[in-house]
Structure 1
Amino acid sequence: MELQQMRYAVAVAEERSFTRAAERCHVVQSALSHQIKALERELGVALFARNSRRVEVTAAGKAFVAAARASLEAAARAVADAAAATGEIRGELTLGLIPTVTAIDIPAALGVFHRTHPAVRIRLHAGSSDTFIAEIAAGALDVAVLGLPREVSHAGVRTRVLARTRHVAVVAGGHPLAERRRLRLEELAEETFVDFPAATPGRAQSDAAFDALGLRREIAFELMDIDLMLDLVRHGLGIALLPPGVVADGRDLRTVAVVDGPTRVECLAWSAFNPSPAALAFLDGI
């Protein structure tokens, strides 16, 4: 059994198609199919059930693919560790980003990292802080930038605080509150809000601040897309509470300080257990 056969099996399982798997692996389909059949003969089981429409992964295939992914990751880590021992950083950096990163200029940081370590492949993942914490603990993510209501302690995850900020109110340029210099939460309780989905850390920060004052509010739209969120605010469909720096004042949008508004801790997070050379190199540059 060879690592290449494992790569082919993982590609077929993820693509659910021999044609797309072959394109992804940059080989002709006949060569990939031949290797999969050879692998199935060696294992003595069928990994995939073929039909005219798509490829289904068998129970044996699911078990094999899960182990194959782990083996491929271990092989890649072995190569990266060997290179790191000679002073060269190689391998892959998987970086999770929330939609409201403000403490780091991510494109600039990645540009410097890429120029310094050109042999490292960078993969970016968008998502929420709670998802990233779980993925780091599970070894599925190297580093993430988180935004949390407070500093957290999670088994298997280390963190470094980047910034502590207080949210601002984001309103349309023509909103009655647009010319105010500062507000209090009680003045916003009757407003309609655009916010993050319930149960996400981005939403929890604002919910906790209103709950602490015994205030209730109406949330008309829940979404993770910051650009769409700001467009909804711009067109008068609600206001938002966001970290300062996410949006600049302009004719269409205004930000107003909220003296008792939600606070956020923005931090870096990474695995506490044997982080990869690429992860350590990225962290050293921040």
Structure 2
Amino acid sequence: MELQQMRYAVAVAEERSFTRAARRCHVVQSALSHQIKALERELGTALFARSSRRVEITAAGEAFLVAARESLAAADRAAADAASADGEIRGVLTLGMIPTVTAIDLPAALGALRRAHPAVRIRLRSGGSDEFMTAIGQGGMDVAVLGLPETAPPRGVRSRVLAREHLVAVMRADHPLAGRSLLDLEDLAEAAVIDFPAGAPGRAPSDLAFRAAGISREVAFEVMSPETMLALVRHGLGVVLLPPAVVPADEELRTIPVRDGPARVVHLAWSAFHVPPAARALLEILEVPDARS
């Protein structure tokens, strides 16, 4: 079994297409298909169910994929560590970003990293804090920005607090509450609410605040993107609670502080086990002094 075969299998699983996987791996489709079939013969089981229109991963393929990703990540780390021993930092840096990153200027930091170490390839991943912590613990991600409730510290990772943010209520300028200078949670109990999906870490601070106050609310719209949330607000469809730095200057919108409202803590997280050279270089740019494996 070869690492290249694993890379091909991971590409097919993620792309759900042999054609797209071949394009991604910069090989002709026939060569990729041949290697996948050879791998399946060696394993004695089918990794993919194929038809003329679609490709689906089998149960055996799902099990193989977990170990394959871990093996590829370990191989990448080994190559990067060997290169760094000679003074060159290269490899892949996988960075997770929650939808509302306001406490840190990541584009500037990545620009500095790229200028200092042009051989480093950067993969940006969007998603939620829980999946990022899991990915870091499993070796599939190097660094992530997390947004968590004050009562829920990061788990299974090393971390540094970047900021504590009190969320503000955002509404249209003609909303009945828009003339207030301060709101209570009770004021929002009857409002149409826009929030992250139930169970998402981005929603947890608001759910916890309302639960602690003994106030029930109905979430009318569940959305992952802050930009979409604000678009819904502009159309008069509800009120959203967001970090103030996320809200652009806009005459159509009003932001109002909320007494005893939700708050979140923004963390920078990295592996508690091994910090690859590229990740260590980024953490040094971000002035994290103790990010050493």
Residue number in structure 1 paired with 2:204: 204
Greater displacement, 208-217 / 218-227 = 208-217
Partner of 1:138: 138
**1:172 maps onto 2:145 in alignment:** no
User: 1:200 deviation in Å?
Assistant: 2.0
Alignment of 1:225-240 (within 5 A): 225-240=225-240
> What amino acid does structure 2 have at the position aligned with 1:226?
P
RMSD after superposition:
2.3
Once residues 105 and 154 of structure 2 are traced to their aligned partners in structure 1, the CA distance between those partners, rounded to angstroms, is: 26
Matched residue, 1:9:
9
Deviates more, 1:57-66 or 1:178-187: 57-66
Q: Find the aligned partners of 1:96 and 1:146 in 2 and give their Cα distance.
A: 8
Unaligned runs of 5+ in 1: none
1:209-220 equivalence runs, <5 A: 209-220=209-220
Q: Which range moves more in the overlay, 130-139 or 228-237? A: 130-139
- The aligned counterpart of 1:74 is 74
Aligned to 2:140, the other structure's residue is in SS state: coil
CA gap of 1:14–1:219, structure 2 versus 1, over 3 A, is closer
Partner of 2:109: 109
Q: What is the correspondence of 1:20-59 to structure 2 with a 5 Å cutoff?
A: 20-40=20-40, 47-48=47-48, 50-55=50-55, 57=57
Aligned position for 2:157: 157
Any unmatched runs of 5+ in structure 2?
287-293
Report if the CA contact (8 A) 2:73-2:140 is conserved.
no
What's the counterpart of residue 281 of structure 2?
Answer: 281
CA contact (8 A) 2:133 2:155 kept: no
Q: TM-score, normalised by structure 2?
A: 0.87
Give deviations 1:160-201, integer Å, cap 9, x for gaps.
Answer: 000112111101011232233222222222222111112222
Sort the Cα spacing of 1:48 and 1:222 in 2 relative to 1 into closer, same or farther, 3 A. Answer: closer
Equivalent-residue separation in structure 2 for 1:187 and 1:228 (angstroms): 23
CA change 1:170–1:160 in 2 (3 A) is same
Using the TM superposition, give the Cα deviation of residue 274 of structure 1 relative to its aligned residue in structure 2, in angstroms: 0.9
Deviation at 1:154, TM superposition (A): 5.1
Distance 1:197 1:40 in 2: 39
Aligned length: 286
Question: CA deviation digits over 1:21-66, x for unaligned, max 9?
Answer: 2222212223333434444555566555554344455565555444
Separation in 2 of the partners of 1:162 and 1:182? 26
Q: Which amino acid aligns with 1:185?
A: L
The answer (yes or no) to whether the contact 2:197–2:224 under 8 Å persists in 1 is yes
For residue 241 of structure 1, what is the amino acid of its counterpart? L
Instruction: Report the Cα offset of residue 112 of structure 1.
Output: 1.7
| Mapped contact 2:90–2:120 kept (Cα < 8 A) | yes
Q: CA deviation at 1:102?
A: 0.9
User: Structure 1 residues 218 and 44, CA, compared in 2 at 3 Å: closer, same or farther?
Assistant: closer
Q: 1:148 to 1:62 in 2, by over 3 A?
A: closer
CA contact (8 A) 2:73 2:139 kept: no
1: distance between equivalents of 2:16 and 2:240? 41
Aligned twin of 1:247: 247
Cα distance in 1 for partners of 2:68, 2:198 equals 36
Residue 189 (str. 1) matches residue 189 (str. 2): yes
Please, what TM-score do these two structures have when normalized by structure 1? 0.89
Between the aligned partners of 1:18 and 1:111, the Cα distance in structure 2 is: 34
C-alpha distance 235-10 of structure 1, shift in aligned 2 (>3 A): closer
1:151/1:113 CA distance change after superposition, 3 Å: farther
- Give the SS at the match of 1:201: coil
Q: For the residues of structure 2 that align with 1:92 and 1:121, how far apart are their CA atoms?
A: 5
Q: Distance in 2 between matches of 1:249 and 1:48?
A: 50
Partner Cα separation in structure 1 for residue 202 and residue 61 of structure 2? 38
SS, match of residue 71 in structure 1 = helix
Percent sequence identity is 68
- Distance change >3 Å, CA 151–CA 101, structure 1 → 2: farther
Give the SS at the match of 1:52.
coil
- 1:135 to 1:118, Cα distance in 2 relative to 1, 3 A: same
